[in-house]
Amino acid sequence: MKILVTGGAGFIGSAVVRHIIENTSNSLINVDKLTYAGNINSVAAVANNERYIFEQADICDAQSMKALFAKHEPDVVMHLAAESHVDRSIDGPAAFIETNIVGTYTLLEAARNYWKDLPEERKKAFRFHHISTDEVYGDLHGTDDLFNETTPYSPSSPYSASKASSDHLVRAWHRTYGLPVIVTNCSNNYGPYHFPEKLIPIIILNALSGKPLPVYGKGDQIRDWLYVEDHARALYKVVTEGIVGETYNIGGHNEKQNIDVVKTICTILEQLAPIKNSSLNIPNYESLITFVKDRPGHDLRYAIDASKIERELGWTPAETFESGLRKTVQWYLEHKEWWQAVLDGSYQLERLGQGA
């Protein structure tokens, strides 16, 4: 099988790329624009594999997408390319409208025009897998409520509104044109190669540098945390075994308040990188916790009901939050060259010489 992955140099996308190349016999085309969040170093482990091809291209460029489909003739599309940081969407929503809505439309049209001319057998086997987020559902107010596949959409931020729009487009292309699509909505991911603007990598790296650990509001926001490699396994299972037209929610069964996530990271760091062995002049990592003004429109609680994918496809997460978080902290301690290149900006030089 030949799989075209968009956004394969991003956090979740790179985990999907590594999983497919390392654990299957499929070929893979990684299509990524290499914006600030795209890091070609995140797929360095598979870059020289004969089944792997990288194409630097923008999903908003209709001609480029048409050419890529004609050149590579994929059997499957896994669409992960997206602007994804809520804070950035509040400060500058235009890029989210362009990439997440217009880009998804452009990719859908390229896929539809390619798919409709395929031989009948390949046409039946083709899949367009759209990877989305639980943030499209908005806020959960009860303590026992869970997002399921029929939860009404109620996005709160420009980011989640743009992802909700892309979900609707994908389903409309299935209903109107018959394009064989599958949609997944996931909870918060964490793990190796996470760009240091999200909560967990920020806390790890700030703590190691003795910088403040910023926590929005009271830190009482609740998220369901999913280890990124568990998510990659789930996505591959969905695209190979899922039912066309269906939606699958993917969660880690790990509801945690943000403040507890931060404190757990501090505890793990005390074990793996003790303050007494550092040059930091602080009593402990927790002393760095700093509460900051809350984000506008900040949802309080997200939580996924992942029973459908467990029941129908047999997927369950392998990592608990504790085991996955320890692996994550250990990874950042052992891969300073990766995150240092991100922090100093030198990783962006990698895009020079990358071409479609």
pLDDT at 27: 98
* Arithmetic mean of pLDDT, 177-181: 98
CATH class of 2-194+226-253+303-320+345-351: alpha beta
Look at 65-79, 181-195, 276-290, 335-349 and tell me which has the smallest mean pLDDT: 335-349
SS3 118: coil
* Arithmetic mean of pLDDT, 56-64: 98
Region of 352 (left: φ > 0; alpha: ψ -120 to 50; beta: rest) is beta
pLDDT at 223: 94
Query: Is 70 exceeded by the pLDDT of residue 292?
Result: yes
Band of residue 89 on the pLDDT scale cut at 50, 70, 90: very high
**β pairing state of 2-6 and 188-190:** unpaired
Query: Is 90 exceeded by the pLDDT of residue 199?
Result: yes
Residue 323 amino acid letter: S
User: Could you read off the pLDDT of 242-287 as tens digits, one per residue?
Assistant: 999 999 999 998 999 999 999 999 999 999 999 999 999 999 999 9
Beta-bridge partners for 257: 222
Please tell me the total number of residues recorded for the chain in this structure: 356
Band of residue 350 on the pLDDT scale cut at 50, 70, 90: low
Distance between CA atoms of residues 205 and 26, nearest Å: 35
**For residue 178, which of 240, 132, 123 has the smallest C-alpha distance?**
123
Q: How many CA atoms lie within 13 A of 60 on its CB side?
A: 12
Query: Is 90 exceeded by the pLDDT of residue 68?
Result: yes
Contact predicate 4/74, CB 8 Å = yes
User: Could you read off the pLDDT of 103-150 as tens digits, one per residue?
Assistant: 999 999 999 999 999 999 999 999 999 999 999 999 997 778 999 999
Residue 173 amino acid letter: W
* Token code pair at residue 43: 């797929």
- H or E segment and range at residue 247: strand 247-250
pLDDT at 352: 47
Mean pLDDT for the chain overall: 95
**For residue 222, which of 188, 269, 250, 272 has the smallest C-alpha distance?**
188
Contact predicate 191/228, CB 8 Å = yes
pLDDT at 55: 98
Where would I find the H helices in 9-126?
A: 11-23, 62-72, 86-91, 94-96, 104-115, 120-125
pLDDT at 297: 85
**For residue 325, which of 219, 234, 194 has the smallest C-alpha distance?**
194
Residue-range domain boundaries for the chain: 2-194+226-253+303-320+345-351
Distance between CA atoms of residues 341 and 294, nearest Å: 29
User: What positions carry a catalytic annotation?
Assistant: 134-135, 159
Query: Is 90 exceeded by the pLDDT of residue 328?
Result: yes
